[in-house]
Structure 1
Amino acid sequence: MDSFSLGGVEVTRVVEFETPTRPPAAMFADIGPQVWHDNRSWLSPDHWDQDAGLLMTRMQAFVLRSGGATILVDTGVGNGKSRPDTPAFDHRSTDFLARLAAVDVLPEDVDLVVNTHLHADHVGWNTRLVDGEWVPTFPNARYLMPRADHDFWHPDSARPARTAAANANVFDDSVAPVVRAGQAVLWEDIHDIDGALRLEYAPGHTPGSSVLTLRSGGELAVFVGDVLHNPVQIIEPDANSCFCEDPAAARASRRRVLDRAADQGALVFPAHLRGASGARVRRMGSSYAVQSWAPFGERV
């Protein structure tokens, strides 16, 4: 089962692909090997391949059906994109659109695309190649993009980016074509989608990194993009990934999101979690712990 309802909103996950990535120490320099060893019973094998010594990640999108609208949260890596610094993303060819169709979502059915931030693995299916030109994949959709990220990654920006190499070509092939087509909505600070869904900045990973809160029928969930990459950051909330542009802001945003989730009993859905894809969290001293996993079928 890859769908369930939260109040009046149906939530469906659509997996693009899964892959091993890098050693834990390369991704999370502040987390020592003892933490991984002590938590191996629940971090392995979904989130950490002990034998290979590599982290595991999933590229996935969440489809929300809310108030009669079909909303796609993040769009993965995409096909045919040139990502020379990231071989796992370079010129991919996946059946992601067929997987969307399998849950009754055709490109023309999507009303709204939410890019939680504008990294390569969150905007790839914003566009597809048609007759040698990158065009919006979802022709009837508005694309909600954080203005802070748009401006940060714009070629005219003078601000240095620590992840510039990993995001080479991204603006040109996955952001600018949407803007040129008049389908981009550049929002700032807080943006209400409807009575159940609200976007707000959670900066640090990128300047415009954002979270989408779902509140309906007494149920609460938050789609946090890359505020968390791996569930180890639930127990080690001050540990940033190697991709965070502003480490201090990223830590503050992560704690703020987890504080609210723990206090309000929200389901937390990071963009890249394997297994159940999300979890409820509880406070544990100055940190947090997984209370229960999301009801997405079986953890695999």
Structure 2
Amino acid sequence: MKPIELGRMRVHKVHEMDSPVPLLSQLPGTTADDMKRLLGWYDQPDEITTDPETSFMTFSVHSWVIELDGLRILVDSCCGNHKDRALPEVHQLNTDYLGNLRRAGFAPEDIDMVMCTHLHFDHVGWNTRLDNGKWVPTFPKARYVFGKRDFEYFKSNPEGEELHNAAFLDSIVPVMEAGQGDLVDEDTITHREIGDGVWLEPAFGHSPGCCIINAQADGAPGAFWGDVIHHPVQLIRHDLPFAFDADGTTACKVRKATMERLADTDTLCFPAHFRRTSAGYVKRDGDAFRYEWVAG
């Protein structure tokens, strides 16, 4: 995918993997009518049909790299290689993520900042890499920005969060021990100022400290919404809690409010898990919403 330019900002997508899972395992309550409506603007025959029982949610797992004012900011670092995970699909991965990063034009040492929309396993994994049996920061010159709420939550080793707790230990703790991690409030400005820079926006619900990363620089704004919305079907069924939402009720409210704010504006959205080019625009569609992808 070619870089996207928004004013003096350039955005690159760095792909790690695609991960298909049965749709109803992630979004129970989705109906055949929902799927028919989705097929009107999202046709992926290897993924969805009119029958939710036979449909999949196929998640694209990828990072975004923002180039702005001489900085290179990596947003969400995917799953990572060689990591023990309770989920078989992501256990002991061996992907060419770093090769894809280089093909996008960046070596690990080129990254100045790593920002995580939240601290779930598939957004923090490449924070570290295995070096002689030890987890070390993958991006040796970067400052890593972590939200305080998620950090304190996973630091407590909460019950029922084994998958994310494991990622905290091998992908967050080594960064902090190396002195490269910064804990910030979820409304922090990380570069310049609101409207001309990069800043965080609270979007709690999917995780206790989930954020949207906003960026703008003499052009249309960009919204890196992480897991506020995982899959296009949620633009239709924003009222259904997602399987991994920590607080499903709040997550649904935040999801709808986010779409209401972004719909029919010039804000270019950069989802963490949409397929195709991933980037695009939210549009109103009657009592729900739809998505228009930018060309690749």
Give TM-score scaled by structure 2 length: 0.92
| Counterpart amino acid of residue 7 in structure 2 | G
C-alpha contact 1:227 1:253 (8 A) present in aligned 2:
yes
Equivalent residue, structure 2, for 1:45: 44
Equivalent residue, structure 1, for 2:182: 185
C-alpha contact 1:47 1:55 (8 A) present in aligned 2:
no
C-alpha contact 1:149 1:206 (8 A) present in aligned 2:
yes
| Counterpart amino acid of residue 238 in structure 2 | P
C-alpha contact 1:117 1:149 (8 A) present in aligned 2:
yes
- Provide the rounded CA distance (Å) in 2 between the counterparts of 1:24 and 1:235: 14
C-alpha contact 2:19 2:59 (8 A) present in aligned 1:
yes
- Alpha-carbon shift at residue 41 of structure 1 (Å): 4.2
Q: Which runs of 5+ in 1 are unaligned?
A: none
Equivalent residue, structure 1, for 2:103: 102
Greater CA drift, 135-144 or 267-276:
267-276
Equivalent residue, structure 2, for 1:123: 124
- Alpha-carbon shift at residue 98 of structure 1 (Å): 1.1
| Counterpart amino acid of residue 16 in structure 2 | E
4+ residue stretches of structure 1 with deviation over 6 A? none
- Alpha-carbon shift at residue 25 of structure 1 (Å): 1.4
Tell me the SS of whatever aligns to 1:251: helix
Deviations 1:4-61 (A, max 9, x none): 201110010011111212x221111132232113322433317834396322111100
Q: Is residue 210 from structure 1 mapped to residue 211 from structure 2 by the alignment?
A: yes
- Alpha-carbon shift at residue 151 of structure 1 (Å): 0.7
| Counterpart amino acid of residue 25 in structure 2 | A
- Alpha-carbon shift at residue 274 of structure 1 (Å): 0.5
Give TM-score scaled by structure 1 length: 0.91
Equivalent residue, structure 2, for 1:173: 170
- Alpha-carbon shift at residue 253 of structure 1 (Å): 1.4
Tell me the SS of whatever aligns to 1:264: coil
Deviations 1:140-199 (A, max 9, x none): 101111111011111x35x545xx133241111001001111111111131112232111
User: Which residue, out of 79, 82, 87, partners 1:80?
Assistant: 82
Greater CA drift, 41-50 or 254-263:
41-50
Equivalent residue, structure 2, for 1:54: 56
Q: Which runs of 5+ in 2 are unaligned?
A: none
- Provide the rounded CA distance (Å) in 2 between the counterparts of 1:213 and 1:48: 30
CA 1:115–1:93 in structure 2 vs 1: closer, same or farther (change >3 Å)?
same
- Alpha-carbon shift at residue 286 of structure 1 (Å): 3.8
RMSD: 1.8
- Provide the rounded CA distance (Å) in 1 between the counterparts of 2:207 and 2:126: 20
Equivalent residue, structure 2, for 1:32: 31
**Number of aligned positions between the proteins:** 289
- Alpha-carbon shift at residue 221 of structure 1 (Å): 1.5
- Alpha-carbon shift at residue 138 of structure 1 (Å): 0.4
Equivalent residue, structure 2, for 1:17: 17
Equivalent residue, structure 1, for 2:200: 199
C-alpha contact 1:80 1:90 (8 A) present in aligned 2:
yes
| Counterpart amino acid of residue 47 in structure 2 | W
- Identical columns (%): 35
Tell me the SS of whatever aligns to 2:230: coil
